[in-house]
Amino acid sequence: MRAQRKKSNTNVYHVIIRGINRQEIFLDNQDFRKFLKEVKRTKKLYQYEVYAYALMPNHVHFIIHDTMENLSTIMQSLNVSYSYYFNQKYERIGHLFENRFKSKNIEDVSYLKNVIRYIHKNPENAGITNNYPWVSYYEYVENKDEITDKNFIMKLFDYNISNFKIFHENYNKNQDLGNSYELISKIEDEEAIKLMKEIANEENLVKIQNYDNDRKYNVIKKFIQIEGIKKVQIARILGISRKTIEKIGKRMPL
């Protein structure tokens, strides 16, 4: 039996939904736009607010203000409608998302501000790009009105966008409570090996040592982007020096 979710005193939650087996849930820009369209639809239907979001290739971060206490219904509606679209488009069957979304209560302003910053920095931390468009940061700094309900958050920064930007610029991921924001624990070696074999289509991962430089870079880049895996772990599993893995991580576009 699943434990009942603990209700937030503020009705504000950090929510993560992930592709089943960490598979990608967005394959092109149309997919991202469709998901945001479903967010708009469910916001109108269930009267909730979105304070921040990041749509990553295989998972989504939200900060949701659940004004009507419909969190599970909201997420079920989003997952079902988007899964139907995705399965129809790509001619697939079965579940797209993990069966149960993850959520953490947000009870104070300090944690709220820090998790917003963490979400906005999620693409950068994953080595994707500094200009990744599918995050709410640009709705704030470019004053766009698309998905995000910005008023309450901007009030915390005295309605001063410079304060908001400076707060984000002062981010230090080495001091961040990453796992508490991700709501996941580190992937153990056994699961990491399984995922890496599937991604590389390689039964013997040690063979990657002998790949040419471009092929090695491309496959290790995909490993680094696996949610919950560490670079030191990749180095250990592949029998490749940590320094080499770190170099590949630095080469990835920011």
Q: Report pLDDT for 29.
A: 96
CB 113 within 8 A of CB 156: yes
Contact 212, 242 (CB under 8 A): no
Q: Which tens digits make up the pLDDT trace of 101-142?
A: 889 999 999 999 999 999 999 888 888 866 899 999 999 999
Fold topology of 12-182 = Alpha-Beta Plaits (3.30.70)
> Token pair of 161, please?
């966008």
Rounded Cα distance, 139 and 168, in Å = 14
- Model pTM? 0.70
Q: Which residue's structure tokens are 């708009």?
A: 40
Give the burial string for 43-59 (b: 16+ CB within 10 Å, else e): beebebbbbbbbbbbbb
C-alpha closest to that of 227 among 22, 75, 62: 22
Distance CA 142, CA 23 (A): 31
Can you give the pLDDT at residue 248? 83
The pLDDT score that the predictor gives to residue 77 is 96
Q: How far apart, in whole angstroms, are the C-alpha atoms of residue 50 and residue 226?
A: 26
| pLDDT category of residue 254 using cuts at 50, 70 and 90 | very low
pLDDT in tens, 170-195: 877 655 544 455 554 467 788 888 88
pLDDT for position 191 = 80
Q: pLDDT per residue over 184-242, tens digit each?
A: 446 778 888 888 898 999 999 989 999 998 999 999 988 887 767 888 889 889 988 88
* Domain boundaries, given as residue ranges, for the chain: 12-182, 189-251
